[in-house]
Amino acid sequence: METIFPEAGGGSGDSRIEFPVSGPKERTSAGAMNWLALRMLTGDRAKYAALIFAISFSSFLITQQASIFAGLMNRTRSQILDVTDADIWVMDPATQYVDEVYALKDTDLDRVRGVPGVRWAVPFFKGQARAKAPDGQFRLGILLGLDDASLAGAPEPRRMIVGSIESLRDPDAVLIDEAGYHFFFPGAPLRPGKTFEMNDHRAKVAGIVDASPPFATFPVFYTRYSLAMNYVGRERKLLSFVLVKTGPGATAHDLARRIESATGLKALTGGDFGWMTIRYYLTHTGIPINFGLTVVIAMIVGTVVAGMTFYLFTLENLKQFGALKAMGASNPRLVGMILLQAILVGAVGFSVGMGLSATFFLVARTDATRGIVMLWQAMAGTGGVVILIVLMASLLSIRKVLVLEPAMVFRG
């Protein structure tokens, strides 16, 4: 051991004292002190449980609410997401979101087709129809009409549960989403051939599709454009959207700008249209405020409860921290111990919270909640919030220990 012999200062010559030199780094292992910190924390079972509960509760609420919120917002653009073969949606210039459209003129389709860079452009209908099952059950559903010739805008073939997209060419053929099928034909096996009424017209299930769930959990029907016109009756204009595929050498954004300038219509890529729809729901409904409030409350409750409990825990151990200081534990070492305790509480609490959240989404999985899942992004965000919470919770404790005078151990 390296030694120094401080100035004797009047002491007798042979009473030199050895002690380690303080180098750039303290030459001690933190292992035993870290273990000590964890024993101090976990030894007080009640406070440890309270800390874990606070963090778990916050983590669970934040992840669950954020995931549900994101899932709901994603649902608002589900019909846009399900169209994967077109790049651009052309619509009335005043359109604000996908669920409220003002129909285009039939001639607008030809105008769009005339824009250089357009590989193909097809009509796309989106509206509502009242569907009625043979047993009298009825519901409003989302009716999507696909171009008769190309069936462009249909869901991807991999999402067909029963039947094929080509079966839409049969008379009265309709594809229905799985949840809608269960509603109209409860208990029936997933099989094509069932018939029902759509706005008093006959419709026949040609296939069952795993469509993305819409915001309002309506059933989703796919049919040919001409058949959709037949179902919804006679209005002067029925063309909801024109779906466009970009030709070679053009980018979707550039082509969208060209369509807008050439036709005076609004043209957006699928991605942009989806975000425009989400922004509409964010700014025109109370959804973000409600969910945001819950998340903020969860953060506040988590921080306050964890902070107070952690602070009380430190206060109760103040004598012990003082004794450690007197025995030669340095401030950085004590701060390290507190941070280690905080990190352990955060890690265990976060894990428990994620477990609770995963269990919730597993148990709550029904037709009504499909598409709403625990998102890794929500988990990652919650992890960040938990780090923030435990850091804030440990700040008071750290301050208390830093200003602690070790001489207090001698005061009764």
Partner 1 sequence: MRRAVMCDGITKWFGAGDTKVQALRGLNLEIAMGELAMLVGPSGCGKTTLISIIAGLLDPSEGDMEVLGTRPAALTPKERILFRRRNLGFVFQQFNLLPTLTAAENVAVPLFVAGAERRHAVEQASGLLDELGLGGRLSHRPSDLSGGQQQRVAIARALIHDPRLIVCDEPTSALDAQTGHRVMELFSRVAVRPDRALVVVTHDSRIFEFADTITHMEDGRAVGVERGRPGRTGPDEVPSLEGTLRPVMGRRS
26 by DSSP, 3-state: which?
coil
Could you say whether residue 29 binds partner 1 (CB under 8 A)? yes
With contacts defined by CB under 8 A, name the span among 11-19, 108-116, 213-221, 251-259 that binds partner 1.
11-19
| In the complex, least distance from residue 16 CB atom to partner 1, rounded to whole angstroms | 6
| In the complex, least distance from residue 155 CB atom to partner 1, rounded to whole angstroms | 60
Could you say whether residue 373 binds partner 1 (CB under 8 A)? no
Residue 1 CA neighbour count, 13 Å, CB half:
11
Burial letters 196-218, b for 16+ CB under 10 A, else e:
bbbeeeebebbbbbbbbbbbebb
Could you say whether residue 12 binds partner 1 (CB under 8 A)? yes
Burial letters 388-409, b for 16+ CB under 10 A, else e:
ebbebbbeebbeebeebeeeeb
Could you say whether residue 24 binds partner 1 (CB under 8 A)? no
| In the complex, least distance from residue 65 CB atom to partner 1, rounded to whole angstroms | 36
Could you say whether residue 44 binds partner 1 (CB under 8 A)? yes
Could you say whether residue 320 binds partner 1 (CB under 8 A)? yes
Could you say whether residue 10 binds partner 1 (CB under 8 A)? yes
Could you say whether residue 411 binds partner 1 (CB under 8 A)? yes
Residues forming a β-bridge with 100: 97
Could you say whether residue 6 binds partner 1 (CB under 8 A)? yes
| In the complex, least distance from residue 345 CB atom to partner 1, rounded to whole angstroms | 15
Which residues contact residue 370 at a Cβ distance below 8 angstroms, ignoring those fewer than 6 apart?
A: 179, 213
Q: Identify the helix (H) or strand (E) that includes residue 399.
A: helix 376-402
344 by DSSP, 3-state: which?
helix
Q: Identify the helix (H) or strand (E) that includes residue 90.
A: strand 88-91
Binder among 191, 247, 343, 410 for partner 1 (CB under 8 A): 410
Separation CA 112–CA 89 (nearest Å): 11
Separation CA 51–CA 310 (nearest Å): 7
| In the complex, least distance from residue 395 CB atom to partner 1, rounded to whole angstroms | 23
**Cβ proximity of 104 and 265 under 8 Å:** yes
Residue 122 CA neighbour count, 13 Å, CB half:
21
Could you say whether residue 16 binds partner 1 (CB under 8 A)? yes
| In the complex, least distance from residue 401 CB atom to partner 1, rounded to whole angstroms | 14
Could you say whether residue 366 binds partner 1 (CB under 8 A)? no
Binder among 2, 18, 200, 235 for partner 1 (CB under 8 A): 18
Could you say whether residue 330 binds partner 1 (CB under 8 A)? yes
| In the complex, least distance from residue 318 CB atom to partner 1, rounded to whole angstroms | 11
Separation CA 18–CA 5 (nearest Å): 7
Nearest CB to partner 1, comparing residues 315 and 364: 315
Binder among 191, 284, 319, 399 for partner 1 (CB under 8 A): 319
Chain CA centroid to CA 207, Å: 31
Separation CA 321–CA 314 (nearest Å): 8
Please report, to the nearest 10 degrees, the dihedral formed by the alpha carbons of residues 216, 146, 165, 201 taken in order. Answer: 70
| In the complex, least distance from residue 25 CB atom to partner 1, rounded to whole angstroms | 11
Could you say whether residue 102 binds partner 1 (CB under 8 A)? no
Nearest CB to partner 1, comparing residues 29 and 366: 29
Could you say whether residue 365 binds partner 1 (CB under 8 A)? no
- Identify the CA nearest to 59 among candidates 380, 370, 397: 380
With contacts defined by CB under 8 A, name the span among 9-17, 238-246, 284-292, 372-380 that binds partner 1.
9-17
- Under the rule (CB under 8 A), what is the footprint of partner 1? 6-12, 14-22, 26-33, 35-36, 39-40, 42-44, 319-320, 322-324, 326-330, 333, 405-407, 409-412
